[in-house]
Structure 1
Amino acid sequence: MALAWRRRKPGSKNSKLAKSVELSIPSHFRCPISLELMRDPVTAATGITYDRQSIEAWLGMGNNVCPVTNRDIRNEELVPNHSIRKMIQDWCVANRSFGIERIPTPKIPLTNAQAEDIVAEIAAATRRGDAARCEQLVANVKKWAKESERNRLCILSNGSSAALASAFCAFAGAQRSPRGSATYRVPEEILAALTMFLPLDDDDAASFVRSPESLCCLASVLKQGDLSARLNAALLARELLASGGGARAGAMADAEGLVEALAKLVKEPISSRGTKASLVSLFYLVNRDEGAARRAIGTGLVPALVEALVDAERSMCEKALAVLDGLLSYEDGREAALEHALTVPVLIKKMFRVSDMATEFAVSALWKVCRRQEGGGEETRRCSTEALQGGAFQKLLLLLQVGCSEATKEKATNLLKELNAYRERFECVDTVDFKGVKKPLSVSNG
């Protein structure tokens, strides 16, 4: 196998004069599995040397034989080959003029015994209420987990999720300590480690994090933690809600300040990842708990979502539309939407331009703001006229033509009936737009 590297002629100032130089990697430096230069060579009991990542992936797929000799091997028997690694490093240094970087000396991977010991120590420190020691151990867990995926899985397989969740619950009250105190940041540190082992497949871990103390702490971190801590709290909240399909939304909605803190992350974004996590959490909360929905509306979330939709990318758009549709199920949510001049134009714009899911949410939201409401005749007329001017009638007809879910079809049909009552005042559709409407249509840019 050979790698092609390009190097300029000495003294040349013109890149066009560069010449190709072919550099061959010695065969004994290449992993027999990946055929790439080994970065962490290890030797199996069969005497064959592999790159650690490749052979561990092979064994992780359920294979228990050496790929070369077909003899039995075990992960625990892999021994670092320091001689080959040093030779590879020397070769990299000798060929650095070709742009080859020296392979760093790999860190020794964590063993099951080490992982078991540190998890046990975290549990013991939690029982003693030793916040300082627990924070120190959690820092080691984070460091090891960041070093490699192998280490992370090793720690996870030894019960880290339950131990960390238990510690988070036990030290949740430390978040009420004075800012800057020795214990104030302990819950945030535990939270940072806990999010490295998501999803929470351990039932004990999930029950610890769903405790009233933990949820109160989670809301506190969302409101006043630093940027990374707030992101971690949003990720954990999303995990708790999404893993249960929103079944526990009621209990989480009761956590003081949680809904408001999640809404703030949408209104004042700290990162795209944090905003998306908050939107997923809010989706489950506002669709399962009326109190949560009304509190979210009270924060000014509806106009914030409308404005966020203007230039949102696909994933963000789908999530924002899903939350907005849920909030528009309530009269105060619809009132807030109707007060914003962009609501109707944005919802019409998102039909067909994002995804099928976004289209269905947009139709549902538009139906909720335009349908006749008791005592809202003038608002309904204004909204319907605005929808006609924006081309909603045409897009809804196209949607029925190309097909959609039964629920969306029903809403689109009812919305067409609503809009049809105002077409005599304002005809928005040019008949030329519907030539060949029975033919297959392309709506990707609708």
Structure 2
Amino acid sequence: MLQKYDQNTRRVLKFPAVLPCQDVNPKTLVSSLTSLSQSITNYQLNVFVTQRKNIRETIRQVSILNMFFVEIMDRCSFDRLTDSAVLCLSELHHSLQKMNFLLQDCSRPGSKIWILMKSHFVATQFMSLIRGIATALDILPIYCFNVSHEMKELLDMVVKQARKAKMEVDPDDDYAMKRVMLILNQFENRFEPDSIMINRVLYYLKINTWGECHKEISFLDDEYCLELLDNSERDLNMLSTLCSFMRYCRGVLFEHSVVENQDDGIFRGNNLEILSCLNPEDFRCPISLELMTDPVIVSTGQTYDRVSIEKWLKSGNLICPKTGEKLATTELVPNLNLRKVIHQYCIDHGVSISKFQKQSRDISSTVLPGSPASAEAIKFLSEYLVRRLRNGSEKQKSRAVYEIRLLAKSNIYNRLCLIGAGAIPHMLGLLSSSDPTMQENAIAGLLKLSKHTNGKKVIINYGGLNSIVEVLKNGLKQEAKQIAAGTIFYLSSVQTNQKLIGEIPDAIPTLVEQIETGTSCGKKNALAALFGILLYPRNHQIALSTGIVPLLSNLISTSEKPEIVTDSLAVLATLAESFDGSETILKASSLQLLIKTLQTSPSRASKEYCVSILLALCNNIGNEVVAVLANNPNFIGFLYSLSTNGGSQAGKKARTLIRIMHRFHETSSSSMIANWDTSRPATIHSC
């Protein structure tokens, strides 16, 4: 009869109630009203930190309605109800649904400060719903229901009280709300608020632990993302500001609380494919925030999409949009490595460029702070955490580095503040810690900071590569090792870093070891890192000397995880671009395995990589490979199918392979005819 809504997907303070259908059975309707009103009455057991008076009055009136519905179920003859009576009951049901949602939101975990700041709106909603109930009861033909005289009197009382009810903002709520606004104004004016005032607000809201503060942040983050998805800007500023404020509280005021270690999903998911650890933010133009289809580098070293930066320059701007530095020249240098990585990312995920542009806009929106108050709160927090890293006790350092890990998780501006405050050098120092948790949090925080261009530079300038490779090799926890591999991948997105990583003796061999012995997650991250490093061709020989090709072939043939097969093929495709790589692949007897994988793999990305490898083998080795492919009776037919049904790149490479085999057959046929022609006269002569 009724549409149900998932509490986890419904937006807070949105009430998608539906009217019961016109032909609903009256008994079913009253039964639903009984259940719904009982659910509302049960909220009297909940603890509400705001709107207490309004909620208490609402529940009291609904509890009387619940008694009314129970009595109807026991005494009423439903076949005698008039259409107007059923209509009134339907209106009551509609209002009670909304009331139930409103009470859910007022008691929702993590919503305390948001409900406080929306106090006037919430009070107005309570008023509107109570008045709606009064209107429905006022026109309800009570004579249709066989209820007691006492119940009729109670209903009359509900109607009168509902009409007179003043659902206003509680004075204590109003005072707390004004205190929050004062604190936010102090942040906006670059003045760090008094901790005593903040603690009073948190005490009023019963946010007394690190975990409760973390719930508030998670809730506000989720609402912010939903607001972006709805293309609504009404509450974005306040959501961002409150989220930064609560982050400040979590890091500064709850320093001595018990930290509830949160699994933020870093490289622990089962869907991490090659390059998928890259966030789409790395591919977006800082000007347009859209995917860079033609990334170019300006004289300051920053990368932009060609169309965006050309528009910027044509408008008469001669400074770098991101750094503000004056451009020494307007020459634009293509960023071929980044373009290749972006292209490969799209292939791996089977999405078109246009579709990719619409994904993950939420992270792009965090390039700038949501408000001046938000900006200053994060700056104060970043500086505080770095002071703790510099001068704090071991426990304080451990807490600070974990806060940094959380703070940098999905926000570009937060990363910029942490980098600017000087977090990276101190975090690099913590990589040698004997505390496994501290080491893991330090490398995880560095991974997030390495996503930022400035972060990459600082890590390299402070000699962080060797420390990160040391964690990769001898990390105290497997998680630390696999996160280190992910960090190396991000660093390898810069061409000069690919060379530097390759020059560290243990870097590539340790990644290969991780591919061989690591967990599933460790294998995927190591494959991603190796892929990035091998974009620098001179690193190929080092990788080949480690025996990587047989190892990859074994993974392709034995792994039960499709993503590991795809990642292994991606690395093999990169190695195949060089002659030595192609020769090693051929010597490892991988040719038949590649043909089989191409014909049987359900993954479009895997097929793409197989075609790339086979094409590289044909180009680098020649007829020895072409002959094997040409003599496979099913292979060319499969290529024809792939050329029409595969992706654009897979189809193009498949068609190239077809032309190579056609030329091989033509050459072979010409040689046979020539041999036959030269032998024929001799045969006649002998006769």
Interval of TM-score (by shorter of Structure 1 and Structure 2): 0.5 to 0.7
Counterparts of 1:29 and 1:247, CA distance in 2: 64
- Greater Rg, structure 1 or structure 2? 2
Q: Secondary structure at the match of 2:123?
A: coil
Question: How far does residue 164 in structure 1 lie from its aligned partner after superposition?
Answer: 4.4
For 1:24-423, what aligned pairs fall within 5 Å after superposition?
Answer: 27=40, 43-44=49-50, 49-54=106-111, 65-66=118-119, 68-69=122-123, 77=201, 107-109=211-213, 112-113=248-249, 115-116=251-252, 120=383, 123-124=386-387, 127=390, 135-141=394-400, 157=414, 164-170=423-429, 175=432, 185=434, 189-195=438-444, 199-200=448-449, 204-211=454-461, 213-226=463-476, 227-241=478-492, 248-268=497-517, 270-287=518-535, 289-310=536-557, 311-351=559-599, 353-371=601-619, 373=621, 377=623, 379-380=624-625, 384-385=627-628, 388-389=631-632, 391-405=634-648, 407-420=649-662
Specify whether residues 198 and 352 from structure 1 end up closer, same or farther in structure 2 by C-alpha distance, changes over 3 A only: same
Aligned partner of 1:432 in structure 2 is none
Counterparts of 1:213 and 1:193, CA distance in 2: 16
Question: How far does residue 262 in structure 1 lie from its aligned partner after superposition?
Answer: 1.6
Counterparts of 1:127 and 1:78, CA distance in 2: 28
Give the TM-score normalised by the residue count of structure 2.
0.43
Question: How far does residue 256 in structure 1 lie from its aligned partner after superposition?
Answer: 3.8
Asked if the contact 1:396–1:412 (Cα under 8 Å) also holds between the matched residues in 2, the reply is: yes
Asked if the contact 1:164–1:193 (Cα under 8 Å) also holds between the matched residues in 2, the reply is: no
Specify whether residues 69 and 351 from structure 1 end up closer, same or farther in structure 2 by C-alpha distance, changes over 3 A only: farther
Asked if the contact 2:553–2:590 (Cα under 8 Å) also holds between the matched residues in 1, the reply is: yes
Question: How far does residue 122 in structure 1 lie from its aligned partner after superposition?
Answer: 5.4
Which shows bigger deviation, 231-240 or 393-402?
231-240
Counterparts of 1:390 and 1:168, CA distance in 2: 59
Asked if the contact 1:262–1:278 (Cα under 8 Å) also holds between the matched residues in 2, the reply is: yes
Counterparts of 2:210 and 2:427, CA distance in 1: 32
Q: Secondary structure at the match of 2:107?
A: strand
Aligned partner of 2:299 in structure 1 is none
How much is the aligned-residue C-alpha RMSD, in angstroms? 4.6
Report percent identity of matched pairs: 19
Deviations 1:245-282 (A, max 9, x none): x67433333334222222221122x2222221222222
Specify whether residues 256 and 344 from structure 1 end up closer, same or farther in structure 2 by C-alpha distance, changes over 3 A only: same
Deviations 1:112-141 (A, max 9, x none): 25624876565346556xxxx564324324
Asked if the contact 2:402–2:442 (Cα under 8 Å) also holds between the matched residues in 1, the reply is: no
What letter is aligned with 2:655? T
Deviations 1:72-119 (A, max 9, x none): 85697565777xx9xxxxxxxxxxxxxxxxxxx994536625624876
What letter is aligned with 2:425? S
Specify whether residues 106 and 386 from structure 1 end up closer, same or farther in structure 2 by C-alpha distance, changes over 3 A only: same
What letter is aligned with 1:262? L
Q: Which structure: greater helix fraction?
A: 2
Specify whether residues 134 and 298 from structure 1 end up closer, same or farther in structure 2 by C-alpha distance, changes over 3 A only: farther
Asked if the contact 1:305–1:320 (Cα under 8 Å) also holds between the matched residues in 2, the reply is: yes
Asked if the contact 1:267–1:304 (Cα under 8 Å) also holds between the matched residues in 2, the reply is: yes
What letter is aligned with 2:586? L
Which shows bigger deviation, 194-203 or 389-398?
194-203
Counterparts of 2:112 and 2:594, CA distance in 1: 52
Asked if the contact 1:283–1:326 (Cα under 8 Å) also holds between the matched residues in 2, the reply is: yes
Asked if the contact 1:43–1:79 (Cα under 8 Å) also holds between the matched residues in 2, the reply is: no
Q: Which structure ranks higher in relative contact order (CA pairs < 8 Å, sequence separation ≥ 6)?
A: 2
Give the TM-score normalised by the residue count of structure 1.
0.62
Question: How far does residue 211 in structure 1 lie from its aligned partner after superposition?
Answer: 3.4
Counterparts of 2:439 and 2:385, CA distance in 1: 10
Asked if the contact 2:645–2:651 (Cα under 8 Å) also holds between the matched residues in 1, the reply is: no
